[in-house]
Every structure is written in C-alpha cells, then in structure tokens.
A and B are shown apart, each in its own frame.
Chain A
Amino acid sequence: MISSLIVAFVVGGLICVVGQILMDGLKLTPAHTMSTLVVSGSILDGFGLYEPLIAFAGAGATVPITSFGNSLTHGALAEAEKHGLIGVLTGMFEVTSSGISAAILFGIIAAFIFQKRNTTY
C-alpha cells in the first residue's frame, strides 16, 4: 500500500510540475495551462498511453485534470466502436458526465450555503 501511495504522489506531482513549467516557463495563463493538460491527456489516451499510466500510478494519474482529457477520448472511442462515427459525439461525455454533473451540482450547493466573504485576509 505504501509503495502505491508513493507512486501516486510522485506521478501526480510530476504532472503538476509540468503545469507549473507551462505557467512559469512558457508564460501560459492558468486557463491555457489547464486546457493544454486536458488536451495532452486526451491525445495520450488516443495513443493508448494513458490507461497504462493509470494502472501504474492509480490516483496519481486519475486526479489531475489530464485524466479528464483521457475520459473524453475514452468515452468517444468506446461509443465509436459500437455506433460508428456518431458514437464519437454521443460518447464524448459518456464517461465524464458524472464529473461534470457533480461539478455543477456541488457548485450550486456551495453557492447556496456560503456567502462570498468580505476580504479581510
């Protein structure tokens, strides 16, 4: 268990290092950095490389935003096998729908419960 924790920590951390380099080194904005990581995850899965990474690092590969890109491609490919080209469209959000719905739902709940604080630091 300990070793898988370490692997997850290191791999997840390395993905974050890439993000930090994109921001500090290549001067990307936070939004561009996030999109780049999503697209990278998507492309990696297109070549069948992201699933082996998840098998190796577990949460270290599924928690960072790259995993969202991976899920997009994964869903699209799976549906495309069943329904052909139209499956690319229907499948894109098949795997990710739970994540998106959860984000919306919890966002609404948080907006109801909390008031934006008056900044006192």
Chain B
Amino acid sequence: MVKANGTIQFTEKPSIASTGVTVGPMEKDSPFASAFDEILLLEKEKNESYEEANTRFIEKACAITVKKGHEKMENIDVFIGGDLINQLSPTNFAARKLKIPYLGVFSACASSVESLIIGSLLLESGKASSILAGASSHHPAVERQFRYPLEYGAQKPKTAQWTVTAAGFALLQKQVKNAPIITHGTIGRVVDGKQANPLHMGAAMAPAARDTIERHLTNTNSKVSDFDVIMTGDLGKIGLNILKDMFTDEDCHVILQDAGAQFYGEDTFFNAGASGAGCSAAVFLSHIYNQLQNGTFKRVLLVATGALLSPLTFQQGETIPCIAHAIECRMEKRN
C-alpha cells in the first residue's frame, strides 16, 4: 500500500539476500575498504574507455552478488540498475551481457535506492522472486560528462565532492533467513532549494533529504531516535551539517550520518567528501549491510540523495532540483 505522501509498507518481507560491491583505486583507502568485495586498481581496468570500465565494474559487482547469494544468473527475474552517464549506457551495456530482463532507472545519485524500492515492489507483487538491483558511478567518466575532463585540470572549491568509482548491487528475494529485510520505502519528491552551483551539491540536496526523512518519520509514526542510524547518500561534510541544522532533535547529531562525508575519511584532498550513485550503493550494501547482518544495527533508514542537474541545465542558469529516496531496513532476530 502506498500511503499518502509516498511511503510504501512492504508486508512480504523483501530481503537483501546478498550484496556485491566493486570499487576503484581511490577507494582503497576508504574507512569502508575492508567491507568492499573487490578493489580494482586501475580506473580503466584494461578497457578502452572509462565508460566501458564503468560497465565492467557493474558486471563484476553483479557476478559477485549472485555468487554470494548462491544463485545462478539465469534464475534472476529482473535486473534493475542506474548510473550517471548519458542514456545509462554503462548499465545498458552491462545488461546486454547479463541477458536478464532489465529496467534502467535514473534519479542521479538516488538511483541506488530507487532500484531497491522498485525491486522490493516487484517482489511484493509476487510477479518476481529474484531481483538484482543497484547502481554505479565512475569518477573520470562522470567528471568528463558533468564538469571537465580530468586532463583539463580544472580547480575545485572546498565545497566540491568527489564522485566515487564504485558499483553496488543487491540480490533481493522474499523472506530469506538471517538477512536484512526492507520494511518500508519512501519515494522522494523533487525539491528545489534554489541552489545553482554544481560544485556545492550538498547544499542543493539537503532540503530533499529533509523532505524525505520527515515524510518517512511521519508516515511510519517513528522518531529519529528509533533508528540506529539514518544515513544519507552523498550530502558530503557540508551538506550533512546543513541537514543536521534542519532538525532540532538532539539525537540527530549522532544518528544522522552521511555516506559521502565518511567515505574518504578526513582526507582533505576530496574536499567536502564523496558523491555519486556508487557512493550510496557501496556504503549501504557493504558497511551498513554487514552491520545489519551481524546485529550491530537493528533498524536503519537509508536515504540516497540525487541532484537532478544536467551539464546543459546549469549552463543555462537553471537551479538544481534534487530528490531523495529512502528505504528502511530491519534485521530480525536470528533463528
């Protein structure tokens, strides 16, 4: 049932049976590095182009996910994925090889959770039993498309964030034992905070994150302290502080966290932190997933944030509309 204001309650217990995360060379020093499944040390990984490399990262992550879930690729009913490149070509090209019925999704960096919500809905409907869902991003490819080619050497301000090279996918199945279940999904609304600077995305996305979190809390009759962690996707260090300022609750300062702010630790080389669809996908489906698996976290809210700009719209002086999709995951007692 979709409640008013976009929250869906899943009653059929769609579970995250397994996950697979591949990351690039810059991500090997991340505090989350030990949770990633595979670290590939070249951005191009012996491929002709960065976009092609992005496709390989997706294929590898999918293969790892399916293998860890003790499942066969041909048994997957639907593959749902998104990335940040025009026309979703990396994911489309990965789907060409996977040969699984495929839905491409785009809500920028919020694509990761969007795929998980759609996957859960398909399971809930009973029309599918195994779903492969996730998202990816690739630093050099994204930089070239949205900003400047890396070779250009353009300067970046301290508010800028670093798009991660990563692909994170999850195998969704119904009622898997000892696996986190997705209990609710809240579909984001497009919120425009009238921010127009593409090198300050955290400020642009914070209002969208706030909107989704508030609606989720209202619709599920819960409060911030009911959660072990409420993690946003890629607001970055500045964006996270802006979001915290929007909540008056004392608990927010500990419970509200951001994957992008933590992704590269305290390294100032990355300015305000990490971003990208791969950022939320990688952290949610590795670190957070593991914490749910081992029982450290019992109830989490994962809010992937996306800035819906294109290189064209910001050059035309448009402000940056943003969206945030959320899923609530719980770990039931082991049996």
Encode contact with A along B118-144: 1 for CB under 8 Å, 0 otherwise. Answer: 000000000000000000000010000
Please classify the interface of chain B as helix (H, G, I), strand (E, B), loop, or mixed, using the class held by over half of its residues.
loop
Residue among A30, A118, A119, A120 making CB contact with B155, cutoff 8 Å:
A30
Encode contact with B along A93-111: 1 for CB under 8 Å, 0 otherwise. Answer: 0000000000000000000
**In the assembled complex, which residues on chain B have CB atoms less than 8 Å from the CB atom of A27?**
197
The answer to whether A120 and B148 have CB atoms under 8 Å apart is no
Query: A24-B157, A27-B197 in contact; A120/B25 too (CB < 8 A)?
Result: yes
- The answer, yes or no, to whether A23 is at the interface (CB within 8 Å) is yes
Residue among A24, A30, A116, A118 making CB contact with B42, cutoff 8 Å:
A118
Interface size class of B (residues with CB under 8 A): 10 to 19
- The answer, yes or no, to whether A121 is at the interface (CB within 8 Å) is yes
Residue among A23, A24, A30, A119 making CB contact with B43, cutoff 8 Å:
A119
- The answer, yes or no, to whether B151 is at the interface (CB within 8 Å) is yes
The answer to whether A121 and B42 have CB atoms under 8 Å apart is no
A-B interface pairs (CB < 8 A), number: 23
- The answer, yes or no, to whether B150 is at the interface (CB within 8 Å) is yes
In angstroms, Cα B41 to Cα A120, docked, is: 7
Closest to A117 in B: B151
The answer to whether A119 and B157 have CB atoms under 8 Å apart is no
A to B CB contacts below 8 Å, 23 in the list = A23-B155, A24-B157, A27-B197, A30-B148, A30-B152, A30-B154, A30-B155, A116-B151, A118-B42, A118-B43, A118-B44, A119-B25, A119-B42, A119-B43, A119-B44, A119-B140, A119-B150, A120-B25, A120-B41, A120-B42, A120-B43, A121-B25, A121-B26
In angstroms, Cα B155 to Cα A118, docked, is: 21
Closest to A27 in B: B197
B86 → chain A, closest Cβ, in Å?
20
5 closest A-B pairs (Cβ-Cβ)? A119-B43, A118-B44, A30-B154, A118-B42, A119-B140
In angstroms, Cα B156 to Cα A30, docked, is: 11
**In the assembled complex, which residues on chain B have CB atoms less than 8 Å from the CB atom of A121?**
25-26
A24 → chain B, closest Cβ, in Å?
7
In angstroms, Cα B154 to Cα A119, docked, is: 16
**In the assembled complex, which residues on chain A have CB atoms less than 8 Å from the CB atom of B43?**
118-120
In angstroms, Cα B152 to Cα A116, docked, is: 12
Encode contact with A along B175-198: 1 for CB under 8 Å, 0 otherwise. Answer: 000000000000000000000010
A47 → chain B, closest Cβ, in Å?
31
In angstroms, Cα B155 to Cα A30, docked, is: 8
**In the assembled complex, which residues on chain B have CB atoms less than 8 Å from the CB atom of A119?**
25, 42-44, 140, 150
In angstroms, Cα B44 to Cα A106, docked, is: 27
B157 → chain A, closest Cβ, in Å?
7
**In the assembled complex, which residues on chain A have CB atoms less than 8 Å from the CB atom of B26?**
121
A56 → chain B, closest Cβ, in Å?
29
Closest to A20 in B: B155
